[in-house]
Amino acid sequence: MKRFTTLTKAMFLMNLRNRSTLFWNMAFPIFVLLIYTVVFGRFSVDDQNYMTWVIPGVLVFNILAFGLMGSATMMVQMREKNVLRRLHASPIPSQHLVGSYLLVNIVICVLQCALIIIFAVIFFDTTITLGTTLRTFPMIVLGVLSFVALGQVISGIAPTAGVAIAVGQIVYFSQLFIADLVMPMQMMPDWIQKVAPYLPAYAVVQLVRPPLIDGGFSPDMWRNLLVVAAYTLLAAFLAARLFRWEPRS
């Protein structure tokens, strides 16, 4: 247990010392919210103020970016710096590494989401309460696990951190504007409306938005849970097969 605790602490500090991670995952979402309130603040979506509607989308695109880019890049960098090689040679069990890595990712993403929600409640007078936030918590954790698993697939195929960032950005931006995160789905072309429900970001935001804003769950909750579970399990299988302790020669 002491080894696991020490490893978890080291990984957590590694993230906190990364100024790029702190900016893009802590400060950038707040900056995005400020832009949205200036540009779209007077509009409404589904009889809701746009700012209230978009907050779950900001939460999801933040953990999506963290999983596909931040988490994937961190694993590649650990491989490039031979950190994984040293861990592999140490008496630390592999399951401790996986558990520690997932725990750190979940904690960081939950802290990010809490910061965004607190900012939204203070400055945008949203209806989000502690009760609705706690009800949403399991859905956020599920989203983190899914996106981190997808990110580890990227880390397995990417030879360098630069390639991991590039691939992560492609997958991230391909979903950002069409998965009902920041642009309402009814504004999309018909073919996108048919494809989007099968995207992981769309499924996660449909799990997060109803309980966070309305305090209830969507009638499509089980379908969305099935989509997210399918992506998570498939990505976890591929990530395990693609995992490497050392950089490619």
H or E element in which residue 110 lies = helix 94-124
The three-class DSSP label of residue 170 is helix
pLDDT at residue 214 greater than cutoff 80: yes
Residue 31: pLDDT above 70? yes
Tokens of 98: 């996986």
- In the chain, what percentage of residues exceed pLDDT 90? 48
Mean per-residue pLDDT for 185-194? 93
Rounded to whole angstroms, the Cα distance separating 7 from 92 reads 9
**Helix, strand, coil content of the chain in percent (nearest 5):** 80, 0, 20
Instruction: Phi first, then psi: give them for residue 44, nearest 5 degrees.
Output: -130, 155
Who has greater pLDDT, 135 or 44? 135
DSSP state of 162: H
Helix or strand or coil: residue 82? coil
Question: How far is it, in rounded angstroms, from Cα 89 to Cα 101?
Answer: 18
The string of pLDDT tens digits covering residues 118-169 is 988 888 878 888 899 999 999 999 999 999 999 999 999 999 988 999 999 9
Stated pTM of the model: 0.92
Q: What is the pLDDT of residues 224-242, one digit of tens each?
A: 999 999 999 999 999 999 9
Cα gap 226→246, rounded to integer Å: 34
Sequence ranges of the domains in the chain: 2-242
Contact between 213 and 56 (Cβ < 8 Å): yes
The Cα 191–Cα 198 span in angstroms is 12
When pLDDT is averaged across residues 197-213 and rounded to a whole number, the result is: 96
